[in-house]
Amino acid sequence: MQFRPTRTAERSRNLLLNGLEPRDSATLLEGAEPVTLELRRVLYAPNEPIGHVYFLNNAVASIIAPIGNGGGVEIGTIGNEGLVGLPLLFGVDREPAHAIVQIADGGVRIPAASFQEIVSRRATIRTRLLRYAQSYVSQVSQSSACNRVHSIGERCARWLLMTHDRVGADVFPLTHEFLALMLGVRRAGVTVAAGTLQKAGVIEYKHGHMRIVDRTGLQGFSCPCYRIIRDGYASLHHPETAARA
């Protein structure tokens, strides 16, 4: 008998889910429910139990680390290439950072207990998710190095390209305040960086919406970190392509 994936799996744009074998995907999604994720929604809070794992479609989430005095800075970005709730994969139910939605859309969520039970007994699922975890750790490491040595303008271009990859659209909502949080800089610095990109004709920003006008041109403003991070995820989801690169 030919196996058919669940309707939830068929609708998903999540590359991690779609990369699983159909039986594994169906098993993982047995207890899943579709969710709409609003801007700034908290997916899990600092040092509180993580209740669900989220597989995003066109939504994008940020992992924000505390830096004292109520402030925070983005240390990781997650879209349709992965999952939100990674500590659960390692048997940990909380972390000091928190996860918030930076680009609204939808996805599916799985209760933490169900996710951990399935991962513990299905080695094929666990192996695939651990490979993603390594790619995510590489992203965090590369972003940390990038934040240390590259200019705000280069980092801004990198972040916009990564978001563009994930949302599947040239226009997405974005405020200077939110981008400043993502880059860990003052709003004035983001205003200057975005202004430079807009004057160059590679983006258009107005009324809280970002439009990617010239993606190739935007890549010219980015540091090499964008390609390093992109290629890391490409090797996870399309290993045959990475092998030829």
Sign of CA dihedral 163, 34, 233, 231: negative
- Residue 243 included in any domain: no
Domain range enclosing 173: 151-222
- Total domain count, the chain: 2
- Residue 70 included in any domain: yes
pLDDT reported for residue 91:
94
Where residue 215 sits, what CATH number does that domain have? 1.10.10.10
**Do 137 and 75 touch, CB atoms closer than 8 A?**
no
**83 and 12 both lie in a single domain:** yes
- CB-facing half-sphere around the CA of 68: CA atoms within 13 A: 0
**Do 245 and 193 touch, CB atoms closer than 8 A?**
no
- Residue 107 included in any domain: yes
**38 and 108 both lie in a single domain:** yes
Domain end call among 111, 145, 179? 145
**171 and 199 both lie in a single domain:** yes
**136 and 92 both lie in a single domain:** yes
**88 and 35 both lie in a single domain:** yes
Cα separation of 178 and 200, whole Å? 22
Cα–Cα nearest to 23, from 128, 125, 129: 125
- Residue 244 included in any domain: no
Coil, helix or strand at residue 93? coil
- Residue 240 included in any domain: no
**84 and 129 both lie in a single domain:** yes
Cα 173–179–181 angle (5° rounding)? 130
Compute the residue count for the chain: 245
pLDDT reported for residue 186:
76
Where residue 117 sits, what CATH number does that domain have? 2.60.120.10
Which two three-digit tokens encode residue 152? 């705000």
**72 and 156 both lie in a single domain:** no
> Which pTM value belongs to this model?
0.85
- CB-facing half-sphere around the CA of 88: CA atoms within 13 A: 21
**67 and 105 both lie in a single domain:** yes
**193 and 138 both lie in a single domain:** no
pLDDT reported for residue 237:
65
**56 and 114 both lie in a single domain:** yes
**78 and 175 both lie in a single domain:** no
The DSSP code for 4 is -
pLDDT reported for residue 245:
39
- Residue 121 included in any domain: yes
- Residue 103 included in any domain: yes
Please list the rounded mean pLDDT of every run of 10 residues in the chain (245 residues): 36 86 93 93 97 96 86 87 96 95 94 96 95 91 85 88 90 80 73 88 89 94 90 70 40
Rg (CA), the chain: 18
pLDDT reported for residue 243:
40
- Residue 104 included in any domain: yes
**43 and 141 both lie in a single domain:** yes
